[in-house]
Amino acid sequence: MKAFFYPAAMLLLTLTSLFAQATDGILVGTVLDPFGAAVPGAAVWATNTSTGVKTTAATNSSGQYRLSNLPGGVY
């Protein structure tokens, strides 16, 4: 019985570690003007409403932005 239990327990512990959850998030998007043209160099920010921490980025030449490593929360 012990010979069976030990490998089964080790397999269970290994499998549970494969389902870890991420603790941060990413916001991505595109800034466009009223005519649908990309806006390069636009300032974009997200503020965590609980902590007041502000994360900033600028759009690239295609108007795209990426705010990464955002802790979980409401923005």
Please name the amino acid found at residue 60.
N
pTM listed for this prediction: 0.67
Name residues whose C-beta falls within 8 Å of residue 63's C-beta, 6 or more positions apart in sequence. Answer: 30, 31, 32, 37, 38, 39, 40, 42
Q: Could you tell me the residue ranges of all domains in the chain?
A: 22-75
- As a whole number, mean pLDDT of residues 10-14 equals 47
Instruction: For residue range 36-50, list pLDDT tens digits in order.
Output: 999 999 999 999 999
